[in-house]
C-alpha cells in the first residue's frame, strides 16, 4: 500500500529509485528490491502501469486509464497521451497473422512545448 500511495503522491512517472527515495523521505523506508518487487506485483494486478518511454529506466504510474506516452528528445519529459480507442490494445493487427495481442503502446517522440518555446 505504501508503494501505491507513493505513486499517488509523486508525479511524472517515477522510477523505482524515486519511489524508494520518496518513501524514505516520508518515514516509510523500503529496500530497493522490495520496492521493485512491489511495483511489479502491482503491475501484475493491473493497479499500476509501466510508463513505456522506450529504453532506459523503468518508470511507473497508477493504472487509472490506458494511454500512450510522448517522450521529449531534448529534455526527456514523459507526457501522457490519451488513447483514441480508450481501451487496450488501441490498435488492431491483421487477424491473418495469428497473433494474440493484448497490449500495444505507442511512443511519440519529438520536442515538448517548453523545449519548442525555449529554442
Per-residue pLDDT of the chain (119 residues; tens, 9 = 90+): 999 999 999 988 999 999 999 999 999 999 999 999 999 999 999 899 888 777 778 899 997 777 888 999 999 888 988 877 666 666 767 778 888 877 777 889 999 999 999 98
Predicted pLDDT of residue 107? 86
d(Cα 77, Cα 66) in Å, to the nearest integer? 19
Q: Which own/partner pairs from 45-52 qualify as long-range (CB within 8 Å, at least 24 positions apart)?
A: 47/4, 48/4, 48/7, 51/13, 51/78, 52/105, 52/107
Question: If DSSP codes are grouped into helix, strand and coil, which group holds residue 53?
Answer: coil
Predicted pLDDT of residue 81? 86
Domains of the chain: 1-64 (1.10.10.10), 65-119 (3.30.1490.190)
Q: Which own/partner pairs from 41-46 qualify as long-range (CB within 8 Å, at least 24 positions apart)?
A: 42/3, 42/4
Predicted pLDDT of residue 105? 74
What is the value of pTM for the model shown? Answer: 0.77
Amino acid at each position: 500500500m505504501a508503494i501505491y500511495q507513493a505513486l499517488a503522491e509523486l508525479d511524472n512517472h517515477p522510477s523505482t529509485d524515486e519511489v524508494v527515495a520518496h518513501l524514505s523521505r516520508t518515514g516509510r523506508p523500503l529496500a530497493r528490491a522490495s520496492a521493485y518487487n512491489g511495483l511489479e506485483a502491482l503491475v501484475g494486478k493491473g493497479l499500476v502501469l509501466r510508463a513505456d518511454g522506450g529504453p532506459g529506466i523503468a518508470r511507473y504510474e497508477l493504472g487509472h486509464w490506458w494511454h500512450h506516452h510522448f517522450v521529449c528528445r531534448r529534455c526527456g519529459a514523459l507526457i501522457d497521451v490519451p488513447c483514441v480507442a480508450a481501451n487496450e490494445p488501441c490498435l488492431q493487427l491483421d487477424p491473418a497473422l495469428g497473433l494474440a495481442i493484448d497490449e500495444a503502446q505507442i511512443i511519440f517522440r519529438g520536442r515538448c512545448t517548453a523545449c519548442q518555446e525555449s529554442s
